[in-house]
Structure 1
Amino acid sequence: MRTGFRAAIASVAALAVLGPLGWYWYDSLVPGTYDMAAMGYADNGGGPPVDHRHTGGLSVADLRGPSGRPDVSVTLAARRDGGAYTLNGSSPGPEIRAGQGQLIEVTLVNESVPDGVTLHWHGVDVPNGEDGVAGITQDAVGPGDSHVYRFVAEDAGTYWYHSHQVSHEQVRGGLFGALVVTPKGGITARDPVVAVHTYQGRRTINGSPGRTPLDAAPGETVRARVINTDAGPIRVWVSGTAYRVVAVDGRDVHEPAAITGKAVLVTAGGRVDLEFAAPGRVDTGGGAAIGSGEASAEPRELVDLLAYGRSTPLGFDPARATRVFDYRIGRRFGFLDGVPGLWWTVNGKLFPDVPMFMVRTGDVVRMTISNNSGEVHPMHLHGHHAVVLSRNGTAATGSPWWVDSLDVGDGDSYEIAFVADNPGIWADHCHNLEHVPEGLVAHLAYENVSTPYRVGGDAGNVPE
């Protein structure tokens, strides 16, 4: 009898432990196919309630670029050879250049990428249906199929394109390229693209390790368009001469001052344009550089973009925000789609129980992004540029610091603001792309916008 009593006690104890674990496991399971816009919970940001059912109204499939004869037409053939990915046989893929206001048409052909492929136009505020996110704005393009993107290059600046399907593998493997939009009237500076990417542990510029020469005459103005395509932040600087940061994430800096003895931090996915007079060289660390002359030691001090340049009006008033959101990044043990582990959290919860930030067109939005997860996170909002208002309670005093990719260090808190002026369903995620399948993703969704596309399903959509 004593043995039976002990067995009963053991069974009750096991149920007390395993029962809740079983429930948490079951509750974490994600369907094999689902509407991303219906996941998580609606967050109205303290503003008027927004219909979050995503029925009727606009379809993402209808939010497309204009018809008509394109000014720039490009075909990109995606291939996979082992673990390497190429576009038109190279990595990086072809550099695309267009003038401000021109209509760009890109035909993506999947020749041999078995998981499917898309193209996301990173930093370009395209119509939502052209955003290239598998399972949200389109289906992944399977082997032998093609997809056409069309959008007007509204804003001059330095941008890039990359796959947004299984992107933590495809971008790391080389499926990306540069997009440059030159201003009306053109530019007078020599403006090389400096696409930084690490292949198999070796840092490169435009696919080449070591120092790349730059054909610029002494005294000639150089505008180096630095793009960080890696998963973490890099520090860049100009050796041999003073320089200025003239643009960040495709937006000009107002009255930038000359810099010596300092480096600039470029977050994953971010871009900076550095202007200097030749000769000189842009150093990106890891022995990768472009230009002439000897490398100076890596500066210890960083340019503080919160106070760099001179203030100028924003064009809207963040103090009159319609909605105020929190995006708190953390980490904890739990189940993610039935798998136990240490996962990223958004506002204390694990995916898919994450916020859908709901807005209406014309809303002024303020968002506080804070990070107490133990690691840095480069946060990327699709379809919009936001201005940094403060960092750790210190208000911005320099040129408006517009970003689409923001490096949020562990223990840091940033307040940003933007106008909701681009209807759609937009990813708002970490651009250390391996963190996305680990749960560090939320979305900005407009009232009455729905999507016909589904994550998973027959198309195998994996919107990382």
Structure 2
Amino acid sequence: MRRSRLAAIAATVAVLAPVAWFWQHSLLPDSYSATEMGYPDWGGGHAGAHGAGIPLDRLTAPADRPADVSMTMVARRQSFDLAPGMRVDGYTFNGRSPGPEIRARQGQLVEVRLVNESVPEGVTLHWHGVDVPNAADGVAGVTQDAVPPGESFAYRFVATRAGTYWYHSHQLSHEQVRQGLFGALVISEAPDVVALVHVYNGHRTVNGLPGAVPVTATGTTRVRVINTDNGPMAVWTGAPYRLVAIDGGEVHGAAVVTGQAVTVTAGGRADLEVEVGAAPVRVELGGSAALVLTPSGDLGQPVPKPGRVLDPLHYGTPATLGFDPDTATRRFEYAIGRRPGLLDGMPGMWWTINGHQFPDVPMFMVSEGDVVRMRVSNGSGEVHPMHLHGHRAVVLSRNGEPASGSPWWVDSLNVEDGETYELAFVADNPGIWMDHCHNLPHAAEGLVTHLMYAGVTSPYRISAGNHPE
């Protein structure tokens, strides 16, 4: 009997000991730096020194240049109404959600002072799609500490590239964005209207309003669609249109489109140009949401969704890139997968990058001036909207099929299960930049890594007060 008990105890220990080891090994430290995560991947290029170097706090806009556009953004924990009977318990910027629309002309210096009045967990501002200096990127624990209640932080950057962008908190982003901390940013001089799409508690809205939202417009009008949600959305209209920009990048040779929808990835933007005459033009945004361009206030009739989808890989006409992807000095693989395991002590099916689970993921190392090629593949079973901070990349191919239209510049790319994209970009913005899934719960579950420039360091740490995802 005693031998049987001992054997049973030994068998139990033999089973539980490896489980306990894996559980212990999966626990995240109380505090860690993004520069300490995973392992460096130099992409086949020269492995430069990394450590003592340029603190990212010094990667800023010119300190002695006065701001051309200046505003204060006050973050609050606050309930707000979308419409009668549609109340959201969330967060606001300047007492509203979406937050105030920021507009600047190309070349202007923008300065935004963020004040945290009452967001208990802290807050930041990230400028989605804008190539800001690294110190202004707004990622808690990577480029700054989250701004606690009662304190403030100033963001300064030059609006270098015209286009459609948005801003949002990058502290607990999977919660704070969903609950209201976001807004539109437009760098342009052309007449236009914005369609900022967000789902609050299951209600799809346009510019914070449910249903069909009328906007007075006539003649040639650009509609800037911004998808602030976690999944892709379709946009379509009953009138002919041209897709004139994707993620703030102008489309070369944009032809007139009819009978096709446009897919806008999570975090992405698409600019449609339409002609508004005497009859209203409805830009359908899914569900009952629509932006109605109307000279008279007439909302018109809903337009059925077309069965075809426009393919940016072959839309528009070719143009020069400004660099040669064939001269790449770094080549990276970003293979997205999924497997059972433990993350911070929690069992589940977790995302992997190149077969590794967070935080033991590759850190993509570059030097300023590198030409970078990156192959992004998805074998995880779900779609992922991938977003690289501080840079834009051009799509070279999808599933081996070369791009043949206008250069397709992206900072947010919808990668379906089974798809592989070949991308290229120039490493021209030194810093430590997140490269993550913009389905924000996925990022919170570990689908995140960083693009790191050799010699750039960060004094900030991901910890109890800094949760970027």
* TM-score of the alignment, normalized to the shorter chain, above 0.5: yes
Residue of structure 2 in register with 1:249 after alignment:
247
Q: Unaligned stretches of 5+ in structure 2?
A: 80-88, 295-299
Distance (Å, rounded) in 1 between the aligned partners of 2:47 and 2:221: 50
Residue of structure 2 in register with 1:59 after alignment:
55
Residue of structure 1 in register with 2:468 after alignment:
463
Residue of structure 2 in register with 1:338 after alignment:
345
1:20 aligns with 2:18: yes
CA contact (8 A) 1:330 1:373 kept: yes
| Alpha-carbon displacement from aligned partner over 1:132-186 (angstroms, at most 9, x marks no partner) | 000000010000100000000000000000000001110000100000001xxx3
Alignment equivalent of 1:74, drawn from 71, 76, 79: 71
Q: Unaligned stretches of 5+ in structure 1?
A: none
1:427 aligns with 2:425: no
| Aligned structure 1 segments of 4 or more residues deviating by more than 4 angstroms | none
Identity %: 62
Distance (Å, rounded) in 2 between the aligned partners of 1:332 and 1:66: 46
For residue 238 of structure 1, report the CA deviation from its aligned partner. Answer: 1.6
Distance (Å, rounded) in 1 between the aligned partners of 2:49 and 2:443: 26
**Residues 130-141 of structure 1 aligned to structure 2 (within 5 Å):** 130-141=136-147
Please tell me the root mean square deviation across aligned C-alpha atoms, in Å: 1.0
CA contact (8 A) 2:61 2:158 kept: yes
For residue 50 of structure 1, report the CA deviation from its aligned partner. Answer: 2.9
Change (3 A) 1:439 1:259: same
Alignment equivalent of 1:384, drawn from 373, 378, 391: 391
For residue 436 of structure 1, report the CA deviation from its aligned partner. Answer: 1.3
Distance (Å, rounded) in 2 between the aligned partners of 1:299 and 1:144: 50
Distance (Å, rounded) in 2 between the aligned partners of 1:6 and 1:306: 67
CA contact (8 A) 1:70 1:103 kept: yes
CA contact (8 A) 1:381 1:405 kept: yes
Distance (Å, rounded) in 1 between the aligned partners of 2:180 and 2:214: 22
AA partner of residue 59 (structure 1): P
1:162 aligns with 2:159: no
AA partner of residue 68 (structure 2): D
Distance (Å, rounded) in 2 between the aligned partners of 1:36 and 1:216: 47
The count of aligned residue pairs is 450
For residue 14 of structure 1, report the CA deviation from its aligned partner. Answer: 2.1
Q: Helix, strand or coil: the match of 1:33?
A: coil
Residue of structure 2 in register with 1:205 after alignment:
206
1:225 aligns with 2:224: yes
1:356 aligns with 2:363: yes
CA contact (8 A) 2:282 2:303 kept: no
- Give the TM-score, by structure 2 length: 0.94
CA contact (8 A) 2:167 2:185 kept: yes
Distance (Å, rounded) in 2 between the aligned partners of 1:139 and 1:18: 39
CA contact (8 A) 1:202 1:286 kept: no
For residue 339 of structure 1, report the CA deviation from its aligned partner. Answer: 1.4
Distance (Å, rounded) in 1 between the aligned partners of 2:16 and 2:350: 20
Distance (Å, rounded) in 1 between the aligned partners of 2:3 and 2:407: 71
CA contact (8 A) 1:329 1:371 kept: yes
Q: Helix, strand or coil: the match of 2:395?
A: strand
Residue of structure 1 in register with 2:96 after alignment:
90
Distance (Å, rounded) in 2 between the aligned partners of 1:447 and 1:34: 19
For residue 326 of structure 1, report the CA deviation from its aligned partner. Answer: 0.7
Q: Helix, strand or coil: the match of 1:436?
A: helix
